[in-house]
Chain A
């Protein structure tokens, strides 16, 4: 579904990603793991078109998307739920969700809104509150809900557990699993290695801007290198 081939990307003066190769299949949860600053968000921003790669290609269902802009990529159904949520703080929860279907899924807006509120019942009470006044957990719900409103074909989640209490983190991961079981492919970018591996099908570990380890999630869970570097075991 997604194929990232020899991708190099970065910012004006810094090269962040080098020679990244990642594939995601239909219906999979693929975790992309790595500690702070290794380039996970840079990878996400490149996937959704916010930054252009310096070289290499990204294919989405065999269409080259690495030269396209965010609007076209959203149109195709690759939806990025960014780190830090990037909600519209001055708009109500409802308006934030509605704008999720600004380009995609507009005909089914009412139906999808209802579905999102079933997934996140808590948002129902907050529906006319401005998003800027929500708690971190609620904001994350709105961010994922906004992503779901556009009827994604693949959802790109950048650190959805960041800033949530342990209990909420647990719920969030269960929910991601549940959404995936409905057939949606997910790229889950996380620092939270244990919980990510427990719901993912496969995973890639990034260090220093490139993939250092990859494989099936259940195998990686037993991997001694990973245990050493991330779990301190």
Chain B
């Protein structure tokens, strides 16, 4: 029996990497918003849920493939995030962090209950014609949805990394993370940059939502499950670190998948909690400290 499990190990690892890439995207949004605005977005899960429903209805009503929807939902999420920060969260909070926390918490309650009201609490799933087609790696079959998610997540991480290091906007985002007055004095519109950052964080959720839909389900609370995992990833990778989020996503994905293989589906999650506790005890700043 044990040898059977061992032979499944490579498949478990690959599977974990695939899921980990999506986790990484959710964590990326969380860590970016935390690193720059120094707030935890409590509406992160609700916004992911909104992205999942967007992809769901685009598929059900307009028959748009969720992987194509990435190109619609991601920019739409950016606009949603930008707007809600610039003219909602930023304004209402008067720039005070504790107010921002309360507002995002309130927002999550509103979004979840609106979803419950309009979409009911039922779990919705979709099935794509190619859901069960797969790519033969020799030792395992890799389903196309997972493969696409993996590649798309990596592409998004690389793009984001390039934005942050190669463009003036990215440098401005990193600058306001640490020195707001200094940023104002070189002419950076700090409120705009905050809103852009929030927008990018929500855009990551937009992409993640589209990729999750074909391999998961959506109901008004789905988002929260992923955010709890994303928190672990952010703590593991280091608050505010992009590379940390990516690496943390993979580590958590593999831990969950291999843990599930060895201990069974429900016990597999123990590994995640274990990592979370160990990190908090031995390296509370995470693998990559607090670099943005």
Which of A's residues lie within 8 Å of B, judged by CB?
Answer: 48-50, 70-71, 74-75, 79-82, 85-91, 95, 98-100, 102-104, 146, 150
Query: Which one of B186, B291, B292 lies within 8 Å of A102 (CB-CB)?
Result: B186
Q: Name the residue of chain B whose CB is nearest to the CB of A100.
A: B186
In the complex the two chains form, is B187's CB within 8 Å of A71's CB? yes
Could you say which residues of chain A place their CB within 8 Å of the CB of B283?
A: none
What are the interface flags for B165-187 relative to A under an 8 Å C-beta threshold, 1 for contact and 0 otherwise?
Answer: 00010011011011101111111
CA distance in complex: A150, B168 (Å): 14
In the complex the two chains form, is B186's CB within 8 Å of A82's CB? no
In the complex the two chains form, is B188's CB within 8 Å of A89's CB? no
Interface size class of B (residues with CB under 8 A): 10 to 19
CA distance in complex: A122, B249 (Å): 41
In the complex the two chains form, is A99's CB within 8 Å of B172's CB? yes
In the complex the two chains form, is A71's CB within 8 Å of B189's CB? yes
Could you say which residues of chain A place their CB within 8 Å of the CB of B189?
A: 71
Query: Which one of A87, A90, A150 lies within 8 Å of B187 (CB-CB)?
Result: A150
Query: Which one of B177, B186, B292 lies within 8 Å of A99 (CB-CB)?
Result: B186
Given that A90-B292, A99-B168, A102-B168 are known contacts, is A70 also in contact with B179, CB under 8 Å in the complex?
no
In the complex the two chains form, is A86's CB within 8 Å of B181's CB? yes
Interface pairs (20), CB distance under 8 Å: A50-B185, A70-B185, A71-B184, A79-B185, A81-B185, A82-B181, A82-B182, A88-B175, A90-B291, A90-B292, A98-B168, A98-B171, A99-B168, A99-B171, A99-B183, A102-B187, A103-B186, A103-B187, A103-B188, A146-B186
Query: Which one of B171, B177, B179 lies within 8 Å of A86 (CB-CB)?
Result: B179
Question: Which are the 10 A-B pairs with shortest beta-carbon distances?
Answer: A86-B182, A74-B187, A103-B187, A88-B175, A70-B184, A102-B186, A90-B178, A71-B187, A80-B185, A88-B179
Give chain B interface residues in 177-205, CB to chain A under 8 Å: 177-179, 181-189
Could you say which residues of chain A place their CB within 8 Å of the CB of B184?
A: 49-50, 70-71
Q: Name the residue of chain A whose CB is nearest to the CB of B170.
A: A95
In the complex the two chains form, is B187's CB within 8 Å of A88's CB? no
CA distance in complex: A74, B172 (Å): 15
In the complex the two chains form, is B183's CB within 8 Å of A88's CB? yes
CA distance in complex: A217, B178 (Å): 39
Could you say which residues of chain B place their CB within 8 Å of the CB of A79?
A: 185
What are the interface flags for B136-174 relative to A under an 8 Å C-beta threshold, 1 for contact and 0 otherwise?
Answer: 000000000000000000000000000000001001101
Which of B's residues lie within 8 Å of A, judged by CB?
Answer: 168, 171-172, 174-175, 177-179, 181-189, 291-292
Q: Name the residue of chain B whose CB is nearest to the CB of A94.
A: B171
In the complex the two chains form, is A75's CB within 8 Å of B187's CB? yes
Could you say which residues of chain B place their CB within 8 Å of the CB of A80?
A: 185
In the complex the two chains form, is A90's CB within 8 Å of B177's CB? yes
Could you say which residues of chain A place their CB within 8 Å of the CB of B291?
A: 90
**Closest-CB distance, B269 to chain A (whole angstroms):** 34
In the complex the two chains form, is B185's CB within 8 Å of A86's CB? yes
In the complex the two chains form, is A88's CB within 8 Å of B181's CB? no
Given that A95-B171, A99-B168, A102-B168 are known contacts, is A88 also in contact with B185, CB under 8 Å in the complex?
no
Query: Which one of A48, A89, A90, A98 lies within 8 Å of B185 (CB-CB)?
Result: A48
**Closest-CB distance, B180 to chain A (whole angstroms):** 9
Q: Name the residue of chain B whose CB is nearest to the CB of A130.
A: B291
In the complex the two chains form, is A70's CB within 8 Å of B187's CB? yes
CA distance in complex: A138, B282 (Å): 35
Could you say which residues of chain B place their CB within 8 Å of the CB of A103?
A: 186-188
Q: Name the residue of chain B whose CB is nearest to the CB of A90.
A: B178
Query: Which one of A91, A104, A150 lies within 8 Å of B174 (CB-CB)?
Result: A91
Q: Name the residue of chain B whose CB is nearest to the CB of A80.
A: B185
CA distance in complex: A89, B291 (Å): 11
**Closest-CB distance, A41 to chain B (whole angstroms):** 11
**Closest-CB distance, A163 to chain B (whole angstroms):** 17
CA distance in complex: A80, B183 (Å): 11
In the complex the two chains form, is A74's CB within 8 Å of B171's CB? no
CA distance in complex: A103, B177 (Å): 19
Could you say which residues of chain B place their CB within 8 Å of the CB of A99?
A: 168, 171-172, 175, 183, 186, 188
Could you say which residues of chain B place their CB within 8 Å of the CB of A146?
A: 186
Could you say which residues of chain B place their CB within 8 Å of the CB of A89?
A: 178-179
**Closest-CB distance, B199 to chain A (whole angstroms):** 19
Q: Name the residue of chain A whose CB is nearest to the CB of B188.
A: A102
Could you say which residues of chain A place their CB within 8 Å of the CB of B177?
A: 90
Could you say which residues of chain B place their CB within 8 Å of the CB of A71?
A: 184, 187-189
